[in-house]
Structure 1
Amino acid sequence: MSISKKLPKGAVAWAFYDWANTGYAMIGLALIFPRLYKSYWGASLSPDKQTFWFTMTVAVASLLVAVLAPVLGSVAELGGLRKRLLLRFAILGIIACATMTFVGEGLYLIASIVYIFGTVSFYCANIFFDSMLEVVSTKKNRHFISGFGFSFGYTAGFIILLVVSLVVANHEDLGFDSTLKASKALFAFAAIWWAVFTIPLIFRIKEAPKKDRPPVFSMARSGILETWHTFKDILQQRHILMFLAAYLFYIDGVNTIITTASNYGTTIGFSEKQIISAFFIVQVMGVPFALIFGFFGQKFGPRRLIFVAIIVYLGVTAYGSTITPEPVVILGFKLSQMFVLAALIGMCQGGVQALSRSYFTSIIPPGKNVAYFGFYSMIGKSAAVLGPALMGTTALIFNDPEDPLLSTRLGLGSISILFIIGAIFLTKAKPAAEAEKLARKFDN
């Protein structure tokens, strides 16, 4: 059976939004904004103030998403506004992304405000995007299609990373007098990318608001009350509660590795070229392995494959804490140890994210998809605290002047604790088929 026959109507258009928002994910969140904040917008600040304002900017955006996500999910459920809110937040994010192009040097506060605006919009749109998985999939292909979406995202990530590298390397030929200005212009590219590839979802996914929906302010008030009811419902469903507890810990480990990998590699002694190449490897590996995890998740159950990903991540933390800049010989080829680590991460990063999304879609009560995904998104954004705190505390406790890298290595190794705790909670969650029956029973 061909892949096209496996995909229901609208699945490709839905996956294209994963392709679309990768423009902001790569340029706004991962590659360009962190670099420009310190070297361009906050260049006049001392290093400690640069770090303070940057971390505060990221923290405020995360906090706002965590607070807004459950309420927005409830409001969208009440009014049938999932698609409408997705597109409105996407438009706001696109505007913020494009605005970054015009923020002048030294204007770090304005850059912070625009970033918060864009990042909150990006993640809020994703609440509704993730919850649409139920619309574009069936029980028979849900896990595969979730992996298919992430595979699209990784393909886009590879292309965008290539564009960024080419623009920065050839900035003079393109009319830019510095790499910083060339990098800033890439926000316009990301905004256009996001806008253009959202178009398929606009025309192919058909969802109209409820005709009998209450007025906006009434929905907002009712949404807050519904959020409380949803929270109480989750507490009564142990299979959902155990999964969300597991997700909180293991996705925190995943996110911590994503956000600290570049800094860790630099500290250990890898070159910037090696680190950029490692990013390419993660994207390349992510394309097929997101599909592979989706396929086998459909065949053997998503929970089992999430366990597989957690085991691989335990290997990542163990191996990563020992790597050195010296190459390793594999099958007669000399490879950077950073490349080996990147390949391991790329194998399971998209898979664990895709199957977490599809597993959660499968275990929640019918008709409550958007409201429950509000809490799922809240957990995802809250899961950005424990890992960095654990790494920092471990590094502080085991600081050794005679071996300055020891504390850094142990800091990465400590992330294994999050994966172990996540795995323990996951054993308490039910297999997808059994959890689906419990969800239907609870709904009745």
Structure 2
Amino acid sequence: MPVPAPPAALDDSPSARRREQRGWYFYDWANSAFYTTIISVFLGPYLIPVAKTASCAQDFPGMASDRCVADFDKLVAANPGLGYVDVLGADIRPVAYFGLITTVAVLLQIVFLPIVGALADHTGRKKELLGGFAYVGALAAMALFFVEGDRYLLGGVLFIVANLAYGSSVVVYDSFLPQISSPQERDDVSSRGWAIGYLGGGLLLALNLVLYLQHESLGLTESMAVRICMMSAGLWWATFTIIPLLRLRNRPVPAHETTALRSVGGSFRQLGRTLADLRRFPLTLLFLVAYLVYNDGVQTVIGNSAAFASEALKLEQEVQIIAILMVQFVAFFGALALGRLARNFGTKRTVLASLVVWTAIVVAALFVAEGQALQFFLMAFVIAIVLGGTQALSRSLFSQVIPKGREAEYFSLLQISDKGSAFIGSLTVTIALQLTNSYRIAIVSMVIFFVIGFVLLALTNLPKAIRAAGNEVPDRI
């Protein structure tokens, strides 16, 4: 069999890198619509009443559906033992259903994403994998349009598929970061990507806000307006993914198995080597654990913010959307501002300071009065300042402490807890809701994640970790 010729070297000049960076930014612009419109705003508050409708049809069949959903908490309090929906034979409270499907989605990510990362590094076909996962997720998001009435199970399955594809695509997307930027550029490139993502997600959310608030004048029911908004997020995701697919370039990898089955087998072997290699990089492992812990808290707070506002604070959905919209645009400036602080004071110090702010935010959730929109807006504003910077700078730090050529594998471990609500945090919220039916207690329980994450990150010697991974230590870390 003839030996294939080695691939031609890619142009890695600053201008070529900048072209890829500009394309790379647009995938954050594309996929942030799914996170903001579907996860952060519409799906939780929409899916809980859908589940309540199913419970009403089962437990209170003689009552009108709309009235039953409106009085659901009172009916359940007066009829202990009722007010559940069936999920694979388990009785689940409707208010806990969104947390349950989020937990399932993240459990699947824990199993699946490291395999995705190994496959991306093993085959080198990152562009193709990025596009494939992006379009599976976008199609599942668009299909949420068909979730209505009592179809809570359909909504759960579509969300799990979309969230898993979303996480898989971001593993591949993040793995491009160390390939398209130098160590000195890393913080700025990561922060810009996150900031542009907030602009993209915020712009679509603004358009959806107009549609939602004007649905009656447009002849739409509230349910139809929400379903159109969720479908638009999938369409936005699919459309703007075209730009990074045109700009990003695959990097050459060593010769590997030629068939898909052998490539998957090789990817499993490579994943095993990655997990074994973590023992050789104990400080990388310590940083990863720190990130997984505090990012569990971040993602759980954000993923449950809309449901917290509707269930604990009894705020109208218009208030929630305006707050999330404000977060998107303020977070654009917050991500850039924290990137500048990192250049002046060091990336690690900046992230540690942001965790102190996160701790204060979740404690403040105890004291936000029911129906007080202004207090909710103030809490959302503070979240916006630290949200993007915490994640963007963490991504940049992680890219510094992983070995070259294994980016997607290591980023798959990071992505298990990145951008979507993480397993331990979402499970904690689900258990708290199941036991107490209180979103305040559920949100405040996130304090422990920020405290433990702070301590673990403070103990991580980052310059030593960067050198151990064979990378150049930036001037300020």
For residue 106 of structure 1, give the secondary structure of its aligned residue in structure 2. coil
Deviations 1:333-375 (A, max 9, x none): xx92222211111110111110111110111111111111111
What is the Cα-based RMSD across aligned positions, in Å?
A: 3.0
Greater alpha carbon shift after TM alignment, 215-224 vs 110-119: 110-119
2:327 pairs with 1:291: no
2:367 pairs with 1:342: no
Assess, with a 3 A threshold, how the Cα gap between structure 1 residues 33 and 382 changes in structure 2: closer, same or farther. Answer: closer
* Residue 315 of structure 2, aligned match among 261, 271, 291: 271
Which residue does 1:95 correspond to in 2?
139
Q: Which aligned pairs between 1:322-337 and structure 2 lie closer than 5 A?
A: 322-324=367-369, 336-337=374-375
Rounded to whole Å, the distance in 2 between the matches of 1:435 and 1:211 is: 26
Which residue does 2:453 correspond to in 1?
422
- Once the 2 structures are TM-superposed, how far is the Cα of residue 441 of structure 1 from its aligned partner? 7.6
The answer to whether the 8 A contact 1:158-1:280 is kept is: yes
- TM-score, length basis structure 1: 0.86
2:29 pairs with 1:19: yes
* Residue 396 of structure 2, aligned match among 358, 364, 368: 358
Greater alpha carbon shift after TM alignment, 197-206 vs 270-279: 270-279
Which residue does 2:43 correspond to in 1?
33
Rounded to whole Å, the distance in 2 between the matches of 1:121 and 1:147 is: 23
Deviations 1:45-89 (A, max 9, x none): 344214465444333222211111111111111110222101111
Assess, with a 3 A threshold, how the Cα gap between structure 1 residues 430 and 342 changes in structure 2: closer, same or farther. Answer: same
- TM-score, length basis structure 2: 0.80
* Residue 285 of structure 2, aligned match among 241, 264, 274: 241
Report the residue type matching 2:352 in the other structure.
F
For residue 233 of structure 2, give the secondary structure of its aligned residue in structure 1. helix
Rounded to whole Å, the distance in 2 between the matches of 1:102 and 1:394 is: 30
The answer to whether the 8 A contact 1:268-1:324 is kept is: no
Rounded to whole Å, the distance in 2 between the matches of 1:288 and 1:7 is: 24
Rounded to whole Å, the distance in 2 between the matches of 1:268 and 1:41 is: 18
Which residue does 2:406 correspond to in 1?
368
The answer to whether the 8 A contact 2:40-2:306 is kept is: no
Assess, with a 3 A threshold, how the Cα gap between structure 1 residues 159 and 379 changes in structure 2: closer, same or farther. Answer: closer
Which residue does 1:201 correspond to in 2?
244
Rounded to whole Å, the distance in 1 between the matches of 2:16 and 2:371 is: 45
Report the residue type matching 1:155 in the other structure.
L
Deviations 1:225-245 (A, max 9, x none): 211210111122121111111
The answer to whether the 8 A contact 1:250-1:423 is kept is: yes
Rounded to whole Å, the distance in 1 between the matches of 2:140 and 2:252 is: 26
- Once the 2 structures are TM-superposed, how far is the Cα of residue 193 of structure 1 from its aligned partner? 1.0
The answer to whether the 8 A contact 2:39-2:303 is kept is: no
Rounded to whole Å, the distance in 1 between the matches of 2:452 and 2:98 is: 30
* Residue 470 of structure 2, aligned match among 428, 436, 440: 440
Assess, with a 3 A threshold, how the Cα gap between structure 1 residues 347 and 384 changes in structure 2: closer, same or farther. Answer: same
Which residue does 1:66 correspond to in 2?
110
Greater alpha carbon shift after TM alignment, 114-123 vs 259-268: 259-268
Which residue does 1:216 correspond to in 2?
260
The answer to whether the 8 A contact 1:317-1:416 is kept is: yes
The answer to whether the 8 A contact 2:274-2:409 is kept is: yes
Assess, with a 3 A threshold, how the Cα gap between structure 1 residues 186 and 357 changes in structure 2: closer, same or farther. Answer: same
Deviations 1:156-178 (A, max 9, x none): 222222122211122244342x1
Q: Which aligned pairs between 1:400-415 and structure 2 lie closer than 5 A?
A: 409=440, 411-415=442-446
Greater alpha carbon shift after TM alignment, 341-350 vs 161-170: 161-170
Report the residue type matching 1:373 in the other structure.
F
The answer to whether the 8 A contact 1:62-1:381 is kept is: no
Q: Which aligned pairs between 1:292-331 and structure 2 lie closer than 5 A?
A: 292-324=337-369
